[in-house]
Structure 1
């Protein structure tokens, strides 16, 4: 179905419903001189909602059952020998028919039966599109007529509209919650499948990462020790935070307390530009500039530093997340009440003491939140580590040597032709669940810190 056509039909129906409801309420007001419970705008909005609900219901039903109907129609047009194929081969044949019907074409030679089936399916798709859109429009018009007749001076249109808006806001909030539950459920389900191949103790406490891409069911499944990847992730994120937190926080203090308005308006946008640079650009910078520079520096001081290492990735990642800490911390520091600053200065404290003993403790929840956001970004970063860390899943303590992280390994395990039937691909879900657990722990710790602080200062 064409999204633009559907959107146009819905907009026309809503506009027509609003116009009819508005004009009907104004006509009642002019004819009877009665006092309306709600303004004409609310009557128009109520009729528009009445028009929109049945139309969306029809479209939702087609979204749910339409693919099955289309698939059944395509299967009915296929030869018997094609229908008798296995699931994956049959799906490929159906996808070719859909591609032919859409006009994009397919690779390879097109059989006569594919051409005939594609043309028939194109006609079927067009007719069903007209039928569904016509049904949605027809039900919308019937709902418009019904809602228009219900308009009376005593109709509580405002209450109904506000109630509908409340349900809409609740649904939008539920989307985020349900999405989180869906992600966790999908990760957990596939991770449980992975642990049927690999012992959880070997996964969480293993020190060797050596997956072997062998056929499903063979004995050579490899070793899936998480500790080298987890340590690499913590090492890179720790180096990044050692760079970003001091620089970002001191930048925020300067911008909020020392810089003039003109200087602040110049420096802050320049710093925030760093947040808009794509991570692949940072990875390229780490690979061709930062890595060779660190290697040359190490050679000059007699220390071996590899161009692709945890140190290279961590330093560049720290530069990338400086805006997250500086910008948010600057906003938080500026929101501290001026009375607290004036009171501290009035008691004889210097500006330095005021910042350390008043502003930073008062802004601690916001600073903790900014730091948490930066840590989460560092843990989940992929492109910089792919290009600059060396992709060496070995448990080592030297940050000047190559390492690998959880995110890089997820990319490696899902790259190529993955069937999600063996541990080589399913391990990506176990790694993703581990990242989710790490982020959850960070949030819980930050929440505990904030609550303890608020008990002291509020």
Structure 2
């Protein structure tokens, strides 16, 4: 049964439980709400909560563990003879999953029946012909061992999915029955429901934390595998980025310095555009603009944050790049290309203006009016009050806005691809093409990649390095915020 159907059945059962729980509570109190310990809503919510939450949590854990259990069983069926030279067991496992998905797609689209898919062994030429009629291909070279493993993989998937359906519905029914039977007028439903909601909130925050930890650990493990094949000194101190996928050992030069330079250079240019414009716009809207002007200007500025980055990239490629080349780079003799650091930085800065202006505007408005009145009462002008009172008091929030903009700039990819090019170099000329760490992460993981090669694993080392840099910026910003907060509180 599809997962969506299971979820809908559990939710429907929870809805029925809510209505029956309320009805049972009222019946136990002879229809008088005053005899109930809690409001009727809490009794219905208790039944719905114990019906839905345990079942969905169980299903989530099952879906997380099922692929791991299946792959552990399937990987033992792959003989050493099926692993070609230069390949690995993980790559063969990828072929098994691909073929299994092809069989499932063929059954779903009517190219064959489930019995035909289960009965296929090594006669798979006819399979490819039938799959071709529905636009599905198993591949040009499907070996018998892979096909048998794919069939077993598909069978285990179906078996585990059936078991999951039965167990999830059983957990929902048990929760429904238990909570319904304990529903009486003296049952402390409000306490139980509030405790359950609190537990769900704690679980949600724990999942967020564990997800972050999982991301970091995954990058650490793959980065360790990378440094076991490539020298860390060449990676961190190398000035040449030239990956090679030809398979020649030692042919790649994977120095990160050109990528870091391009990332920081483009980000600095973007911040030089976004911070002054965004901060001045925030000061005008909060201190000078009237209600009507503010109601018009702020939404118009915030529209910039809703424009897709691919649109900004096209704007950089078609408009800003040629304009900077024709009016600045060529007359000054600094370059002939429209793809440059300045192109990507200017367009990215325009994109970051709402991040600075909106947050700074909210922070400046949060400064108490009494501080302004005290400054004006001492004889300061409006501009002096803004410079010497309002901005210092709002500085921690402004630093946070700038940090958010910097993090957004460091992680941007599409504008860099279309506006700055893909050349990894170290240069001070802002009108030359450069690239960033995020662009190279995408390029190293795009296409037919081998996760056992350093040319692919380097993407994880790049990601971990970028994470450490961003974490350092956060720590620095936190230090600045705490220092000035103590001064102005």
Distance in structure 2 (CA, Å) of the matches to 1:84 and 1:100: 28
Matches within 5 A, 1:361-400: 361-400=392-431
CA contact 2:100–2:153 (8 Å) conserved in 1: no
Matches within 5 A, 1:155-194: 155-194=187-226
Distance in structure 1 (CA, Å) of the matches to 2:385 and 2:167: 68
Shift of 1:143: 3.3
Which of residues 259, 266, 270 in structure 1 aligns to 2:289? Answer: 259
Shift of 1:177: 0.9
What CA deviation, in whole Å up to 9, does each residue of 1:341-377 have, x standing for no partner? 1111111111101111111111111111110000001
Residue of structure 2 in register with 1:441 after alignment: 472
Shift of 1:378: 0.5
Shift of 1:119: 12
Residue of structure 1 in register with 2:482 after alignment: 451
Residue of structure 2 in register with 1:9 after alignment: 9
| Structure 1 position 219 matched with structure 2 position 249 | yes
Residue of structure 1 in register with 2:86 after alignment: none
Change beyond 3 A, Cα 1:409–1:122: closer
Which of residues 314, 317, 330 in structure 2 aligns to 1:284? Answer: 314
Could you tell me which runs of 5 or more consecutive residues in structure 2 were left unpaired when the two chains were aligned: 84-88, 113-123, 132-137, 139-147
Give SS of 1:395's match: coil
Give SS of 1:37's match: coil
Which of residues 305, 312, 324 in structure 1 aligns to 2:355? Answer: 324
Which of residues 75, 82, 94 in structure 1 aligns to 2:100? Answer: 94
Residue of structure 1 in register with 2:379 after alignment: 348
Residue of structure 2 in register with 1:48 after alignment: 48
Residue of structure 1 in register with 2:327 after alignment: 297
Shift of 1:313: 0.8
Shift of 1:251: 0.5
CA contact 1:55–1:136 (8 Å) conserved in 2: yes
Shift of 1:153: 3.0
Higher deviation after alignment, 321-330 or 138-147: 138-147
Residue of structure 2 in register with 1:201 after alignment: 233
What CA deviation, in whole Å up to 9, does each residue of 1:127-166 have, x standing for no partner? 9767654554444334333322222333221111111111
Give SS of 1:349's match: coil
Could you tell me which runs of 5 or more consecutive residues in structure 1 were left unpaired when the two chains were aligned: none
Change beyond 3 A, Cα 1:412–1:354: same
Distance in structure 1 (CA, Å) of the matches to 2:257 and 2:151: 56
Distance in structure 2 (CA, Å) of the matches to 1:301 and 1:387: 23
| Structure 1 position 248 matched with structure 2 position 254 | no
Which of residues 262, 280, 289 in structure 2 aligns to 1:232? Answer: 262
CA contact 2:26–2:185 (8 Å) conserved in 1: no
Change beyond 3 A, Cα 1:177–1:336: same
CA contact 2:399–2:481 (8 Å) conserved in 1: yes
Distance in structure 2 (CA, Å) of the matches to 1:373 and 1:44: 43
Shift of 1:48: 1.5
Residue of structure 2 in register with 1:152 after alignment: 184
Higher deviation after alignment, 61-70 or 180-189: 61-70
CA contact 1:233–1:379 (8 Å) conserved in 2: yes
CA contact 1:74–1:94 (8 Å) conserved in 2: no
CA contact 2:316–2:344 (8 Å) conserved in 1: yes
Shift of 1:221: 2.9
Query: What TM-score do the two structures reach when normalised by structure 1?
Result: 0.89
| Structure 1 position 313 matched with structure 2 position 372 | no
Give SS of 1:20's match: helix
Change beyond 3 A, Cα 1:54–1:351: closer
Shift of 1:46: 1.1
CA contact 1:74–1:97 (8 Å) conserved in 2: no
Give SS of 2:127's match: coil
Distance in structure 1 (CA, Å) of the matches to 2:316 and 2:394: 33
| Structure 1 position 408 matched with structure 2 position 439 | yes
Change beyond 3 A, Cα 1:160–1:220: same
Distance in structure 2 (CA, Å) of the matches to 1:390 and 1:125: 44
Change beyond 3 A, Cα 1:148–1:235: same
CA contact 2:310–2:414 (8 Å) conserved in 1: yes
Distance in structure 1 (CA, Å) of the matches to 2:158 and 2:464: 43
CA contact 2:334–2:429 (8 Å) conserved in 1: no
Higher deviation after alignment, 93-102 or 285-294: 93-102
Change beyond 3 A, Cα 1:145–1:192: closer
Distance in structure 1 (CA, Å) of the matches to 2:55 and 2:193: 18
CA contact 1:248–1:323 (8 Å) conserved in 2: yes
Shift of 1:121: 10
CA contact 2:100–2:151 (8 Å) conserved in 1: no
Shift of 1:265: 1.1
